Each structure stands twice: as C-alpha cells, then as structure tokens.
Amino acid sequence: MKCLLINPFYPISETPSPPLGLAYLAAVLERAGFEVKILDYVVYPYSRESLAESLNSFSPGLVGITAVTMTFDHAAQIVGALYCQRWPI
C-alpha cells in the first residue's frame, strides 16, 4: 500500500529543518512494507493543483497530515482540498 505523509506549511524565518517525526514514521511504514512519500509544504509551495497532481501520480491508499497549533489552519485547508477532490480520508 502507498502512504502519502504531509507536513503543512507554517511561516518560518530561519532555515527549515526536515520533518523528523514524519521521517521516523515513514521508516516504520517502509519497514512494514508500505511505499511512502513525504510532501513538505514548508519548503515546497502548496496549491490545490500541486496536491491533486501528487495524489493522482502517487495514488496513495492512505494520507497522513501532521498538525500542531501553528500548522492547524493549513492542515485544515489540505483536508478540505482532499474532501473536495473526493479523496478518501
């Protein structure tokens, strides 16, 4: 099964660091036999079109989105985009 993990955008004034929590989760999922892709919207510009392109080209069976207080609004936008595209959540 394919799994897409998403790190939502948040404003940062310094050099961003990799989403280590998602990287650890990806390693565990890969060990369990999943094919994993991480979208890091802190360094990769988000748009509904880019999300749709990633979903259509990768076709994940599972989508995970990390969310903390400073990323909650953007995470909610992504969930809304998934819902509008009728992607199973």
| Mean pLDDT of each 10-residue bin along the chain, 89 residues long | 94 82 97 97 90 94 92 94 80
Helices (H), 9-71: 20-31, 48-58
pTM above 0.85, yes or no: yes
Residue 72 CA to residue 37 CA, distance in Å, equals 21
> Which residues lie closer than 8 Å to 40 by C-beta, 6 or more apart?
7, 16, 18, 19, 22
